[in-house]
Structure 1
Amino acid sequence: MGKQKKKVQQQQEADLLSTLEDFTSKENWDKFFSIKGKDDPFEWYAEWPQLRQLLLTNLSSGSLSDVQILVPGCGNSRLSEQLYDEGFVCITNIDFSKVVIGDMLKRNVRDRPCMRWRVMDMTCMQIFQALSITNDTDVVFMAASDGIKERKVVHQVTSELTGQIVVDDVVYENVDGELGQLFPSKDLVFRRLTFERSEWLIQSEGLLTSEGSQNTVVEKGNDKSKKKGSQKSNVSNVPVVDSSSGLSVDHGYLASSYHSGIVSGFMLISSYLERVASSGGTVSTVVIGLGAGLLPMFLHGSIPFLQVEAAELDPAVVDLARGYFGFKEDDRLKVHVTDGIKFVGDASTKVDILIVDVDSPDSSSGMTCPAADFVEESFLKTVKTSLSEEGLFVINLVSRSSAIKEMVISRMKVVFSKLFSLQLEEDVNEVIFALNSEGCTDITSPEAYNQLQKLLLNVKHPEMTRSIIDSAKKIKPL
């Protein structure tokens, strides 16, 4: 295919999938796959070389030919073909696009005769009935349990809004990043918050330490640590933390790298923040999505001139944050049980920093975070109006689709002229920063990092400051 023809094809594909609604349209996907053709695969997650070892390690138990694999929303991915060629022949592929199922059936019917292809919506009842009746399908998924050495479920609750929510304490086989470097010979204990609706996604994760001590963790045994996710989880029934351990969430640490990334973006308005702090003023900060309350608690304890308000839709989540993660309110930290979009729209005063950190309850949107409503142009315009003149807007964006990411960024560029991005290396999170004014701190200047470091003088742990500064150095303009 010539360069010009390829460029035209790519533009046609982009036009078909330009909005979130387009991704749920069967007609659009039929047109998309007609344009793309059966020999131009569209991979959502990763290429086979990146997935091969992980999948083979977790699936290779017993006879490969007996393993039942269901691939919902298969599209024209080559994943099923690669698995089949490795010996997994009992594979059923489903997609609601008749075009792509027809193409893939023609492509594979001779070389892979045992593989099945069905035109079907993955959400239809007959699929779920088949799964529950036969009870013989091995479901392939990447869950929050990957790489866990020990685990104890602390609490479970079912919310009318969120569904089942789990609080658990875990010890990972291996911990990367600053914490792993700080305690290389220790087993670190983390408390996590997960939602069943997005089981593979850890909503919140905090480091547990002895109360009043930053360095007390559980000693490791003699087992060699293995890279997280490199083999099947071996979850122990032995309690990780008992009632007499005295461990509690340390709000001086941000265990999630994207939380550190969010804070690193404060560098973009560090001159403004420094002026406010030196004059004895306060910076109005709103966090949409409380989760376990770890980010608001860190901001409250580490940057004392911030006036933090969190908006959380589900009261059950607020109760868990208070009861199991040490979330506490005072005159500088408040939580409101309300819809985040309504909270921003009803704000009577300007906001200096607005952070959207919510997951999406709708998997069909193609985004894990945030919910689609938070990237609609109407909400983005509301945000711009609600921000102060030198305000900062932050979104935690999680999607494996580059088309969706590009669409979100394009929408934001319509409303905000200054956009920046932090792509996290270890996962699919991308933190997007938008400024309400043309002026901002020069991110290429060493002074920018010095200003950010001054703002973080009250951070409890020096390694946390280093992590935030390191993240700030990776922020790029869009």
Structure 2
Amino acid sequence: MSDYQQLAEVHDDYGVIRVVQSGDYRFLEFGDEVEQSCSYVPDPAWLEYDYTRAMLLGALLPERAEHALFLGLGGGSLTMACLKYLPFATVEAVELRPEVPRLAREFMGLASDPRLSIRIGDAQERLDECAPADVIFFDLYTDTGPAAAHLAWGFLEACRARLRPGGWLVINQWSTADGKPLGAALLRGLFRRSYWEIPVSDGNVILFIPADAGQELDEERLRQRASVLEGALGYSLERLIAALRPAS
């Protein structure tokens, strides 16, 4: 778009990272203008896109919400929303590229918070260093699409095993032409269809995978919790909850 203004550009071992601004919005981009994150400058905790709002719903699923783990930090808008609106005592993030947290703090509104700690490195290698979590947000993308970890059987198993009892793994997954998540057959086999999905307008499918195969998603309780939160958020989550479906 013609009104985009570039605020920063850095080069690292993985390519180019840019921050651009259009109006009140800033975008973190990888590679050839591939948007990774969006931040609303007046309120960095505002979630602009459906996929981030759907992922936020995952934080309302556990009975307790004491510790959250983000695999992939990006611009940090979802992290900021969790810190601002939810009662997490600690939040941990693993980010591959050292420049991403720096740019997120300098340009995207990621605030310093004593509850937040960030590890730099490959999530597959550093997962064992992270504390067990009540919710794990899995959002690992490169400038060419989902990282290989999205379809790595052993790593997905390890993520689920890193959940506390009653916890939830929330994955931002690409969708295929038929609306199913990328790797649907692998996911169904690994998690035995014991998970739920929300297809979103951004062309992704958000997966909600419980720590235990016998764990149910209480849709009515989710709706009640979302309703309480909506006044503070400034937008409704009902449309996304209405799209919730069992694994197909």
Aligned to 1:196: 31
**Unmatched 5+ stretches in structure 2:** none
- Structure number with the bigger relative contact order (C-alpha 8 A, sep ≥ 6) is 2
Question: Aligned in 2, Cα 1:404/1:422: closer, same or farther, shift over 3 Å?
Answer: closer
Give the distance between the partners of 1:293 and 1:252, measured in 2 at CA.
8
Partner SS for 1:450: helix
Aligned to 1:389: 165
Aligned to 2:85: 302
**TM alignment of 1:314-393, pairs within 5 A:** 314-347=97-130, 349-360=131-142, 363=144, 368-369=145-146, 371-393=147-169
Give the distance between the partners of 2:60 and 2:92, measured in 1 at CA.
21
Deviation at 1:321, TM superposition (A): 0.7
Question: Aligned in 2, Cα 1:156/1:429: closer, same or farther, shift over 3 Å?
Answer: same
Give the distance between the partners of 1:307 and 1:375, measured in 2 at CA.
28
Deviation at 1:442, TM superposition (A): 2.8
Higher fraction of strand: 2
Give the distance between the partners of 2:90 and 2:82, measured in 1 at CA.
9
Give the distance between the partners of 1:323 and 1:208, measured in 2 at CA.
12
Deviates most, 150-159 or 395-404: 395-404
Q: Does residue 207 of structure 1 match 2:40?
A: yes
Tell me the TM-score normalized by structure 2.
0.88
Q: CA RMSD in A?
A: 2.3
Give the distance between the partners of 1:448 and 1:428, measured in 2 at CA.
23
Deviations for 1:5-33, whole angstroms, at most 9, x for unmatched residues?
A: xxxxxxxxxxxxxxxxxxxxxxxxxxxxx
Q: Is the 8 A contact 1:422 1:431 kept in 2?
A: yes
Give the distance between the partners of 1:254 and 1:401, measured in 2 at CA.
26
Q: Does residue 453 of structure 1 match 2:227?
A: yes
Q: Is the 8 A contact 2:163 2:211 kept in 1?
A: yes
Give the distance between the partners of 1:413 and 1:400, measured in 2 at CA.
15
Deviations for 1:21-59, whole angstroms, at most 9, x for unmatched residues?
A: xxxxxxxxxxxxxxxxxxxxxxxxxxxxxxxxxxxxxxx
Q: Is the 8 A contact 1:384 1:415 kept in 2?
A: no
Q: Is the 8 A contact 2:166 2:210 kept in 1?
A: yes
Partner SS for 1:150: coil
Higher fraction of helix: 1
**TM alignment of 1:69-468, pairs within 5 A:** 148=1, 150-161=3-14, 163-171=15-23, 189-197=24-32, 199=33, 201-209=34-42, 250-269=43-62, 272-273=63-64, 283-347=66-130, 349-360=131-142, 363=144, 368-369=145-146, 371-400=147-176, 402=178, 405=181, 408-417=183-192, 418-425=194-201, 427-437=202-212, 438-443=214-219, 445=220, 447-454=221-228, 456=229, 460-463=232-235, 466=236, 468=237
Deviation at 1:360, TM superposition (A): 3.3
Question: Aligned in 2, Cα 1:157/1:165: closer, same or farther, shift over 3 Å?
Answer: same
Q: Is the 8 A contact 1:341 1:374 kept in 2?
A: no
Give the distance between the partners of 1:149 and 1:472, measured in 2 at CA.
36
Q: Is the 8 A contact 2:45 2:78 kept in 1?
A: no
Query: Number of residues paired by the alignment?
Result: 245
Give the distance between the partners of 1:428 and 1:293, measured in 2 at CA.
20
Deviation at 1:168, TM superposition (A): 0.9
Give the distance between the partners of 1:190 and 1:153, measured in 2 at CA.
12
Deviations for 1:179-208, whole angstroms, at most 9, x for unmatched residues?
A: xxxxxxxxxx211111125x3x31011112
Give the distance between the partners of 2:162 and 2:10, measured in 1 at CA.
35
